[in-house]
Amino acid sequence: MSYFDYIYNRLFGKSEATSTKVLVHEIIKRSQSFLDRFNTWKTSDICAEFLNDLWQSYSWSKKGLDKDPQILLLESTYSNGFAISYEARYGKNNYRYLFDYLADQVKMLDYRLVVSRHTMQEKGDVVELKEMHYLKPKRGFVEPIDQKFGNVQIEYIEENDEPTRIKLIANSYPDRKFKEAQSFEDLAKHIFTLNN
């Protein structure tokens, strides 16, 4: 590659190493066998222990301390959330099921699932799988509208068939038409609690 090509690629992002090729983009459809395993997992001791560890990690992160599995917090005026880093000792299946479990927990709070999407992209020598659930509160038409915790987006991300993280972000509306969003802490406590 010539020096000119190198500079051009750096400025305009045309480098092959950073090119992205979408391989799959579709709506998530779970098989019955997956749903059966997921429902068994939700009532297992493994699930209860995993959720307990996550709640403890979340609580420690709020105090600025790390605990496995590591949870990174996003805290701002209108967006709050967390990212759970993958820890191999918890197993891939726990993370796969946790992704759907979090969506189920949010739906219990009078939310509706707007879209569930599965995307697979090739980014250089990395194949990234990303699954996303996007939920909105069921809303009335009397203002101010109860926005609950705002819109909630949950993502499960794998690179080369290995989980990397799960992200959950709640985005609230600053508009006067909406009531102030509820505390994200209450949402976190709800979603990390088994059998709500």
pLDDT in tens, 163-185: 999 999 999 988 888 899 999 99
The CA-based angle 116-62-80, given to 5 degrees, is: 35
Record the pTM: 0.86
Note the pLDDT of residue 28: 94
Percent of the chain with pLDDT over 90: 73
At 129, the amino acid letter reads: L
13 or 113, which is more confident = 113
pLDDT score of 196 more than 50: no
CB burial of 68-94 (b: ≥16 within 10 Å; e: otherwise) equals ebebeeeeeeeebbbbbebeeebeeeb
Q: Where are the alpha helices (DSSP H) in 43-151?
A: 45-62, 92-107
Gap between the Cα atoms of 82 and 93, Å rounded: 20
pLDDT in tens, 121-138: 998 889 999 999 999 999
pLDDT in tens, 7-56: 556 566 554 445 778 888 899 999 999 999 999 999 999 999 999 999 99
pLDDT score of 110 more than 70: yes
How does DSSP classify residue 188?
A: H
Mean pLDDT value of segment 60-70: 89
